[in-house]
A and B are shown apart, each in its own frame.
Chain A
């Protein structure tokens, strides 16, 4: 493009020079301001800053806040703070740190992992901040050091508060535990807010509510002499203690549940269906959280980690098990909700089921069969054949839709970290993960809660709560916010109360009926109450379905035995508790899991809480 405007070079240059001159003036004024500030710092306040910088030094010491306490719903202390002695080194005051540590080792036991942690922290912290060497000194160790203190400049004992869990391993997977703060922990938080804080919540409530429990760091600015001894406190800003937490957990119910499970591995989750309160959350075996506070030694930790029974594993939130027959009430409900043809008739159960044109026999747990079975009887006696037929009529798509709405394959959203979702298979899921189409046979075994299907105890308890409330539930919570109502989760499809009647009657007769699979646990006599439940047995070791040899399951080695399951709520008409119990390798749900559940229901209902 041709330039069509006439420019006046002289005028443009003059304009530029004017503007540039103005800019030069601004530059000079700003530089003047900068120089004035530098003169003020380096000449005016030189003496002040020189004092701060050498000889007597100003030091800012963080003051760690006191951690909030954790109580159960009735005010019983679950996690408290106890005075304890910590051995610390201020790096800038020690000339030869390895030699000092070696000399200290003569007086006080300093273990390998103490050293490792100390060295890691040494690199991270400012050199005038104390770095802990050992936590929880015994009285003997503390006095041994006190006598020899003059030999160790820059080393000191500090009285601190250490976390204590009076109930030890009881409830450890709910309450959680604390141990020495790590690099990874610090990356999660503002490191400045944790100056002076030595421990961090690692699991359970301690982790999920770390920010509430921790409190706010304080500091004091002190003037010290060259040796680092404090001469005077210039400024003091106290730390703000962390907030106490009152859990929804009832330690009596928790204790009853832990005792009922005893030495067996498994999990129990008990909820209050009226608000989602977690009344008990058990995963056994557990471990003693107090050992972690003191700094667990490497061999003990290795033993915990390698233990085949996996005590560190939170089964209640992360254990994924086939739900087995506990899925049947949900499908019975679906039968009514979808107005299936099968819901209005009965089937003849002769102990097995065959798909047309296929030889394979899908067996019933009762080899001789249940005879004529309708929906009610199918729930009460847990007839597999009825549910094979029902599954075939519903089809996997409708089953997936309905079971997902009932919570299967979905996280409950409990206010603890690390909850896993179970697995609710669908055509789409199978195509994505296995690149395979869906087979009819797979629909059948989903009908009895086997196959790909997986549930966590937490989810099964939530599903039980959903039944207790006839179609809605609340997000499970272990800490109930004071100012927030329970959070309702989306309702299950049959909002018509009539549709719930038959299924719940069936679940009630599982316990109270003459042929119920859990009739042995029905409460009788004074204080009796009604229970609606469903037993389940999850196969660990798949026996060939058409194997005709009779196999006596209890004779299998323990790790191949079935998992025993039971879900329930009580009392039936105005439920106050919903529960899921899983006993690993326990055998049948009716023999093992149901009595455990009964003990927990008793503990809560007989407590007479509203």
Chain B
């Protein structure tokens, strides 16, 4: 069986918080600092949603309920020790692959894409499982031998990442496919993937772009083309970007104030409570509000990396690091898309955008981080 051989002497000096709260947090296996930052962002997100939804309290309450469920998931996952996650990793991964296959074979079609699996009582997207199972699998594989990863394991990981990405992209859900692939790649990168291989992959990727283009759906090509020149199609796809830039730009340094964003309140801005909520926030709270928000996000990512660095073993370190970096990709891709820096690839702004499933997965991921952080001491004593 696996020995948790990597005894880091520094884990003893974790949070020395004492008192009632500290004891409670420890008992719940929760990292108080990280939790506070997440709750802060989620709270601001609800405030922004109230404005973005046209002061629709029902929508805010629905979102609050989802957040409660998602934080519940975080708490549950935090109780699972990393060694259990380690043992479950391959099982979870292959279950996910199986379900992805099932979705392709018999999935429900929602919004023109096959993503949902209807289990009678609940409908869910198996691709969500992969957001967690993918980095777990790579970390599991990397942990089986000394680091840095050798070529054989890189090849296996690469094949698994490609398989998963193709299955998800076929649904078609390019955004999630990229996120899941990124999560796997980050774990591999942190495990010491050689620079030479990365540069080689980058060159290969550039060469394969025309091939990828060939396999893209019409609407996906549309999005890329429109990104390159949004003004070419002001009535259709480019409308999102133009209106969203107007919203952000007109917000200025200080913003127009909460509930006063004309772009969003006058319904110029499409999808303003989901993918484009960042623009609503930008219009109403200005550059200063945005900087504060981005700083909070960066703090969450930094805390995640810090937890990973202090993890007890390599599995926890790779998994935790990958989860933190993937979280950054979410924030960056969404903010980049809304501000016209990246193409429109349906990625929600974490903890802000209206919608359920992705949020539960996201916070479950933070549950893993907390588990990695808080189970260290228990083992050592």
Contacts and interface: CB of A to CB of B under 8 A. Distances in A.
Interface in A229-280: none
B235 A42 contact: no
B266 A192 contact: no
Contact of A53 (B246, B321, B325, B328): B246
A20 B328 CA distance: 13
A17 B268 CA distance: 46
Q: Which of A52, A60, A190, A217 has the most CB of B within 10 A?
A: A52
Contacts of B339: 34, 37-38, 41
Interface in A213-230: 217, 219, 221
B325 A23 contact: yes
Contact of A127 (B147, B267, B294): B267
Nearest to B305: A20
B146 A7 contact: yes
Among B2, B8, B192, B233, the most chain A Cβ lie within 10 Å of the Cβ of: B192
Contacts of B250: 46, 49-50, 52-54
Contacts of B237: 192
A116 interface: no
A42 B251 contact: yes
A515 interface: no
Contacts of B1: 2
A163 to B, nearest CB: 23
Given A192-B235, A193-B236, A43 B246 contact: no
A589 B237 CA distance: 59
B314 interface: yes
Interface string B126-167: 000000000000000000011110000000000000000000
Contact of A192 (B145, B236, B290): B236
| Majority SS at the chain A contact face | helix
A39 interface: yes
Contacts of A35: 291, 294
Contact of B249 (A45, A195, A221): A45
Contacts of B74: none
A486 B29 CA distance: 76
Nearest to B231: A235
Contacts of A41: 245, 248-249, 339-340
Contacts of A16: 190, 308-309, 314, 317-318, 321
B101 interface: no
A53 B318 CA distance: 46
Tell which of A33, A42, A126 has the most Cβ of chain B within 10 Å: A42
A433 interface: no
A34 B249 contact: no
Contacts of A50: 249-250, 252
A42 B253 CA distance: 6
B298 to A, nearest CB: 6
B58 interface: no
A52 B283 CA distance: 13
Nearest to A237: B234
B262 interface: yes
Contacts of B298: 27, 31
Contacts of B340: 37, 41
B317 A195 contact: no
B362 interface: no
Given A38-B248, A41-B339, A23 B287 contact: no
Given A34-B339, A49-B249, A15 B235 contact: no
Contacts of A3: 2-3, 5
A606 interface: no
A560 to B, nearest CB: 48
A543 interface: no
Contact of B266 (A31, A127, A217, A219): A127
Interface in A46-71: 46, 48-50, 52-54, 60, 62
Interface residues of B, number: 59
Interface in A14-38: 15-17, 19-20, 23-24, 27, 30-31, 33-35, 37-38
A357 interface: no
A8 interface: yes
Nearest to A218: B235
Contacts of A5: 145-146
Contacts of A8: 146
A27 to B, nearest CB: 5
A34 B294 contact: yes
Of the listed residues A2, A12, A17, A45, the one surrounded by the most CB atoms of chain B closer than 10 A to its CB is: A12
Contacts of A11: 147
Contact of A46 (B249, B305, B325): B249
Contacts of B335: 34
Given A27-B325, A38-B248, A46-B253, A53 B263 contact: yes
A67 to B, nearest CB: 18
A20 B309 contact: yes
Nearest to A219: B235
Contacts of A496: none
Contact of A42 (B286, B294, B321): B286
A358 interface: no
Contacts of B192: 15, 19
A12 B6 contact: yes
Contact of B147 (A12, A31, A193): A12
Interface in A96-136: 126-127
Contact of B190 (A20, A37, A43, A45): A20
Given A20-B305, A37-B341, A62 B252 contact: no
B246 A49 contact: yes
Nearest to A55: B262
Contacts of B146: 5-8, 12
A495 B138 CA distance: 67
B358 interface: no
Given A13-B8, A20-B305, A52-B246, A27 B328 contact: yes
A42 B282 contact: yes
Interface string B314-329: 1001100100010010
Given A19-B189, A23-B321, A46 B252 contact: yes
Contacts of A219: 234-235
Contacts of B282: 38, 42
B247 interface: yes
A126 B192 CA distance: 52
B332 A31 contact: yes
B356 interface: no
Interface string A430-460: 0000000000000000000000000000000
23 contacts: A5-B145, A6-B146, A7-B6, A9-B5, A13-B309, A13-B317, A15-B147, A16-B321, A19-B321, A20-B190, A27-B325, A37-B336, A41-B249, A42-B248, A42-B253, A43-B252, A43-B253, A52-B249, A53-B250, A60-B234, A193-B236, A217-B235, A219-B234
Interface of A: 2-3, 5-9, 11-13, 15-17, 19-20, 23-24, 27, 30-31, 33-35, 37-39, 41-43, 45-46, 48-50, 52-54, 60, 62, 92, 126-127, 190, 192-193, 195, 217, 219, 221
Given A3-B2, A46-B250, 18 more contacts: A12-B6, A12-B314, A16-B190, A16-B317, A20-B321, A23-B186, A23-B305, A23-B325, A30-B328, A33-B341, A35-B294, A37-B339, A37-B340, A42-B248, A46-B249, A50-B250, A60-B235, A192-B237
3 smallest A-B Cβ distances: which pairs? A49-B249, A192-B236, A53-B250
